[in-house]
Structure 1
Amino acid sequence: MTSIRKRSWNAPDGSEKTAWLVDYRDQAGKRRAKSFARKKDAEAWLVGAAWQVSQGVHTPDSASVTVKKAAELWIEKAEAEDRERSTVKQYKELERLHISPLIGSVKLSRLTMPMVEQYRDDLIATRSRAMAGKAVRALSMVLAEAQRRGLVAQNVAKGVKVVRQGREKAKIEIPTKQELKALLTAATDDEKPLIMTAILTGLRSSELRGLRWADVNLKKATISVSQRADQWGEIGPPKSAAGFRTVPISPALVTVLKAWKLRCPNSTLDLVFPTTTGTPQLHQNMLRRKFIPLQVRAGVTRPKLDAKDKPVMDQEGQPVLTGRYGFHALRHAAASGWIAQRIDLKRLQIWIGHENIQLTIDTYGHLIVDAGGDADLIAAAGAEILEM
């Protein structure tokens, strides 16, 4: 039994107040009430609530939690499932910086798709589109978990997306052959094995830092990836099944690694590129202490920018230079080198460690250009059509 009735009362200052009270029972038969300033708002709300009750998915305001609380439950679930430490860290940052400040105080029972659309617009106005997209997807994951727990009837963020135009999509940066040669020339004897391995195998930073000598077969000229070191130096398996792979290596790299094995620091973990004390390198340390200084010595640089994207100047008023590339650029260099040798897409996908061929095409498809081959295909197709 449901009803809408007008309620009047006197406020502390003596003025008369009125509200429209919706009286109804939820799917468990418990009596509930909700008030509105206008009758038409009460009637509109009751239509939706009645349908939710009939479907057994209604969540009254008094039993609802806020978006912030739902996000905390989402993070707790990730921690309980022993998700990657970096993944949990990212979830916490998304909640703390991009979800709770903008929409965290809203109760799930009152959250609507238009409110999520406004949340998306607010993100786009104050963050990059890439970050806005991550935050909207995170909110959808939060609501999906809340729905699983029975805390909300539906995921109103499911259909909300941040569309990135083609011109906004980040393009991969690939060092030129001259830059790669400059890096190898400027590298010290202790730096060269790591840099050369990265350039010629396409292994990720975490995979290189977790690489074991047991996975380097110098006789067969292959490197197998079976583990990785995360950003805190903890050893674990690759993030996905595609991460487990074997990559062939060139004779030149075999020679460099043979010499490196003789002088490599001892490591109880059997690491190929450990610290001087034998422990896994940290990614940030590898960048700050090795890769960035190496780029500066090699002349592969760009001006260092401050928080406002303005060049940082030294005491003499000259721009401070930093490395032009992130370490991931060496992975792209390996892929571009393989593509230049006309490697087939399946090998490229396997060697680079992508989960699916579409990701490989999306990342490197623009490099796969064969003008001569295209001309031959067009000529053959034209001849076939004209003979019909």
Structure 2
Amino acid sequence: MSVRKRTWIGPDGEEKTAWLADYVDNKGKRRRKTFGKKKEAEAFIIKAGGEVQEGTHIVDRDSVSVKKAAELWIATGEGEGLERSTLDQRRRHLKFHIEPFIGNTLVSKLTVPAIREFEDRLRAEGRSGAMVKKVLVSLGGILADAMERGLAMRNSVRDMRQRRNGKEKRQERRQKGKLKVGVHIPTPAEVRAVLSALEGHWRPLLITDIFSGMRSSELRGLIWPDVALEGRAIHVSQRADEYGKIGRPKSEAGQRTIPIPPIVVNTLREWRLVCPRRDTGKVDDAGNPIMELLYVFPNGKGNLESHANIVNRGLIPAQIKAGVSIDTGKVDKDGNPIMQAKYTGLHSLRHFYASWCINRKVDGGLELPIKSVQERLGHSSIQQTLDVYGHLFPRGDDADELAAAERSLLG
């Protein structure tokens, strides 16, 4: 490796000077790169030498732009059969957050300092901390795919996040805080009030959600063959994404069997008699359309129900009717206070189910061990369950239990 001065006469007859960095790359091929200043050539040769020694050097001509690498990454996802919503998110991140800032940058130029600068620019342009984090995850995926294709030798996003990982997780936990009963998790009294207010075709869906903890996508994709009324269980084998496409649960743990109590069994048995059937597009010998009983919680035509309808037409009105609501401080045209639902998403019912599984029997819960709670919720790991709900488990050191332990020890 060397840096040497190059002098030549240009077309205008004037003498021109440049500095040539001469080195051998990872493949043993001789490379030359020209710079206007000696110090630039020397800095490059030092950097390239270190990368060649580490096996991480990529010649610019062998690299591609971030935009091109991102397109290849999206194509990889399409080939792997990723869900449409996941692919759409990748395209949005590329179009709105990555391409405007570093789309033309070569992936081989994305060092840790370059990633830090990109991160700072995203924040300066008004992106939220949550969005910056998501975009960096996508950029890390782009670089990982580029490495597999031999277009990059280093994933600087991964290198940066490995150093930050512990600190970021601690900060995230502090910011999010723990789930609180009455704030994020409906109280037993609130659930009883909602149950008494449920009516119409939303009643069987929300009762099932309260006593099974199923995700919205799992409820929407649930089919009658997966409901074992005699066996008092629901088998979760598929889900419906936001575009109505049916697929398997996101993880292997998502495929599970959930025991259901009598209230769910009886409600579903009644609901099955009036549940809308969907048109199969076929006709019988008499020319009548053949209708099929398929989805457990369909829309009025027997097809997939939307998540927005479940929340806006089912969950929220039920809460307001039950008095599980918050005064907005506004009034309607008749002078009546305008109330809003206390809990805005179906995940609040999933949180309740988790707490019901965890609570002690004397407090009206099931008092299940952590492993059983993980399996019923379909979490991919027991650590995930502990991270979200670990603080809800009885500590075993309240005053009454301490007194009993003392009596047992001291006699």
Q: Classify the TM-score, shorter chain.
A: 0.7 to 0.9
What does residue 363 of structure 1 align with? 388
DSSP-derived class of the 1:174 partner: coil
DSSP-derived class of the 2:4 partner: strand
Matches within 5 A, 1:129-168: 129-161=129-161, 163-164=168-169, 165=171, 166-168=173-175
What does residue 308 of structure 1 align with? none
How far 1:94 moved relative to its partner?
Answer: 2.1
- 1:298 is aligned with what amino acid? A
How far 1:239 moved relative to its partner?
Answer: 1.2
Distance, in Å, in 2 between the alignment partners of 1:328 and 1:179 is 15
Matches within 5 A, 1:183-198: 183-198=194-209
Matches within 5 A, 1:25-104: 25-27=24-26, 32-53=31-52, 57-104=56-103
Distance, in Å, in 2 between the alignment partners of 1:145 and 1:253 is 46
Deviations 1:208-264 (A, max 9, x none): 111111111111211111111111112121111101111111112211111111111
Matched-pair contact (CA < 8 Å) for 1:231–1:283: yes
Larger deviation: 243-252 or 288-297?
288-297
DSSP-derived class of the 1:159 partner: helix
Matched-pair contact (CA < 8 Å) for 1:52–1:153: no
What does residue 215 of structure 2 align with? 204
- 2:375 is aligned with what amino acid? I
How far 1:364 moved relative to its partner?
Answer: 0.3
Distance, in Å, in 2 between the alignment partners of 1:159 and 1:21 is 31
What does residue 307 of structure 1 align with? none
Change (3 A) 1:322 1:375: closer
Change (3 A) 1:378 1:154: farther
What does residue 353 of structure 1 align with? 378
DSSP-derived class of the 1:153 partner: coil
DSSP-derived class of the 2:160 partner: coil
What does residue 296 of structure 2 align with? 272
Residue 298 (structure 1) aligned to one of 322, 325, 347:
322
What does residue 265 of structure 2 align with? 254
Distance, in Å, in 1 between the alignment partners of 2:149 and 2:5 is 33
Unaligned regions of 5+ residues in structure 2, if any?
279-291, 360-364
DSSP-derived class of the 1:274 partner: coil
Change (3 A) 1:60 1:279: same
Change (3 A) 1:186 1:60: same
Deviations 1:242-287 (A, max 9, x none): 0111111111221111111111111436111011111111222322
User: Structure 1 residue 237 and structure 2 residue 248: aligned?
Assistant: yes
Matches within 5 A, 1:308-319: none
- 2:242 is aligned with what amino acid? Q
| Length, aligned pairs only | 378
Matches within 5 A, 1:217-232: 217-232=228-243
Change (3 A) 1:175 1:17: farther
What does residue 285 of structure 2 align with? none
How far 1:325 moved relative to its partner?
Answer: 2.0
Residue 356 (structure 2) aligned to one of 325, 334, 337:
337
- 1:149 is aligned with what amino acid? R
Aligned Cα root-mean-square deviation (Å)? 3.4
How far 1:368 moved relative to its partner?
Answer: 1.0
Larger deviation: 176-185 or 48-57?
48-57
- 1:168 is aligned with what amino acid? Q
Instruction: Provide TM-score, normalisation by structure 2.
Output: 0.81
Change (3 A) 1:364 1:186: same
Change (3 A) 1:120 1:380: farther
How far 1:207 moved relative to its partner?
Answer: 0.7
DSSP-derived class of the 1:354 partner: coil
How far 1:155 moved relative to its partner?
Answer: 1.3
What does residue 119 of structure 2 align with? 120
- 1:236 is aligned with what amino acid? G
DSSP-derived class of the 2:154 partner: coil
- 2:143 is aligned with what amino acid? L
- 1:5 is aligned with what amino acid? K
Matched-pair contact (CA < 8 Å) for 1:5–1:22: no
Distance, in Å, in 2 between the alignment partners of 1:155 and 1:20 is 30
Instruction: Provide TM-score, normalisation by structure 1.
Output: 0.85
State percent identity of aligned pairs.
44
Unaligned regions of 5+ residues in structure 1, if any?
305-310
